[in-house]
Amino acid sequence: MVRLILSNYLLCFEINMEKPQLKIFLAAPRGFCAGVDRAIQIVEMALEKWGAPVYVRHEIVHNKFVVDGLKEKGAIFVEELDQCPNDRPVIFSAHGVPKAVPNAAEARNLVFVDATCPLVSKVHIEAERHHKNGLQIVMIGHRGHPETIGTMGQLPEGEVLLVEDELDVQNLEVRDTQNLAFVTQTTLSIDDTLSVVQALQKRFPSIQGPHKEDICYATTNRQLAVKEIANKIDALLVVGAPNSSNSKRLVEVGKRAGCKYSQLVQRADEIDFRALKGIETLGITAGASAPEVLINEVIDSFRENHLVDVEIVETAIENVNFKVPRVLREPA
């Protein structure tokens, strides 16, 4: 019996000796933000209140795992409003929608709930205020992104001009150089946006900016956390979806901060372990639409072949919370 116990002990010791050490620096904040939490909660509460199915125009947030989970509960995701029947509720995604969408829903007497992140709605309100003051708007954002489409769609065509980089600023044709204002997409790179803002201010010195930074607190905090760990790590993994703007920005921030290997993965099965062979330190973060369960899945995947030591590197504490719309807080 003693010999068997000793044999098992030595076997475990040998296995552990064969496993290389891996230090994981886990960025904080990471993952879900208040706007994403609210959007998911809106779909879940709508299903509780009205039963399945509930229709959702576009992905509620950019994460397949989250979307699939809501599908299992009875949510049906569609691309356009005309795919929704008249007798079922419809929810608009967290990224915001052009003003024509809720107008069309009202014209059909649809029950609808707007899950637009309040920080995106703030940008919409800014754009409308500038428009009422006679200003043409320049939006810094990514062409084709749902948030950019939604913000530009708050005003008549031609009233919002899109720029993605400094070259776009140089080629920009405006109505009146003395009557301009700019707004930004909430999920951009802090550093890239600063460069574009400076280019706008250089070319149009009188251009007006937002009273408060448009890039949201969650985007800012996650990028700063990556910068904090970048010089400590051999590689960085960002858990997020390929269509998630803020997740892709984290990959870029990691590379620019000096991390030679910076990759986006949706789940653990996308990790290229061959490319990571021999690393001693790894940074992990997640975009604002990625749930903690996927982050844990990625960490656990390294435990199979490494002796993992996880250190949380916290650069900010987030306690933001957004209320869901009143219609969901009232009884059916």
Positions marked catalytic: 147
Question: For helices 217-230 and 245-256, what crossing angle results, to 10°?
Answer: 30
For Cα atoms 241, 30, 75, give the angle at the middle one, nearest 5 degrees: 50
Torsion angle in degrees (nearest 10) through CA of 273, 279, 281, 282: -20
For Cα atoms 213, 244, 269, give the angle at the middle one, nearest 5 degrees: 140
Q: How far apart are CA 78 and CA 6, in angstroms?
A: 61
Distances (CA, A) of 109 to 78, 95, 101, 103, 104: 18, 23, 12, 10, 9
For Cα atoms 105, 109, 115, give the angle at the middle one, nearest 5 degrees: 45
**Residue 125, H or E segment:** helix 118-132
Count CB-CB contacts under 10 A for residue 29. Answer: 21
What single-letter amino acid sits at 25? F
